[in-house]
Amino acid sequence: MKRIQVVAAVIYGDKNQYPNQILVSRRAGHLHQGGLWEFPGGKIEHSEAPQQGLSRELEEELGIRVTHAEPLMKIQHDYVDKKVSLDIWSVTAFEGEARGMEGQEIAWVPVDQLMNYDFPEANRAILEKILG
């Protein structure tokens, strides 16, 4: 089974508008792990660098342009039906107002409330890193 290369972002809110909050989005019901919350991102296209994929995905999904991002961690996770390699980035600055460009629900969630949301199993390590 081929491993799918995915990039995802832990997007921190603006200190004035969304202090100590992180943006999450809900996966559409018909998708793998549908209905669960996730850190926005998507598949890296052929010959695309992770940071390029991150910028493209966040513009397509949320309508924002990343102005500052740093690598956070890498994770490999095997589901029963697919294998993923996640390249996770911390996004601390962006331009534009985030919105669900593909009809997905989004939410700014206080960091201390993230555990109240249902995430895919592959995201557990990200939550542990954020919550330290």
95 is in an annotated binding site: no
Is 27 among the annotated ligand-binding positions? Answer: yes
What is the CATH number assigned to the segment(s) 3-123? 3.90.79.10
Q: 60: annotated binding-site residue?
A: no
Q: Two tokens at 70?
A: 């740093």
Is 3 marked as a binding-site residue?
no
Domain ranges in the chain are 3-123
The per-residue pLDDT for range 30-53, each reduced to its tens digit, is: 666 678 999 999 999 988 999 999
The string of pLDDT tens digits covering residues 73-132 is: 999 988 888 888 999 999 999 999 999 999 899 999 999 999 999 998 888 899 999 998
Q: Is 70 assigned to a binding site?
A: no
40 is in an annotated binding site: yes
27 pLDDT tier (thresholds 50, 70, 90): confident
In the 3-class helix/strand/coil scheme, how is the chain assigned residue by residue? CCEEEEEEEEEECCCCCCCCEEEEEECCCCCCCCCCEECCEEECCCCCCHHHHHHHHHHHHHCCEEEEEEEEEEEEEECCCCEEEEEEEEEEEEECCCCCCCCCCEEEEEHHHHHHCCCCHHHHHHHHHHHC
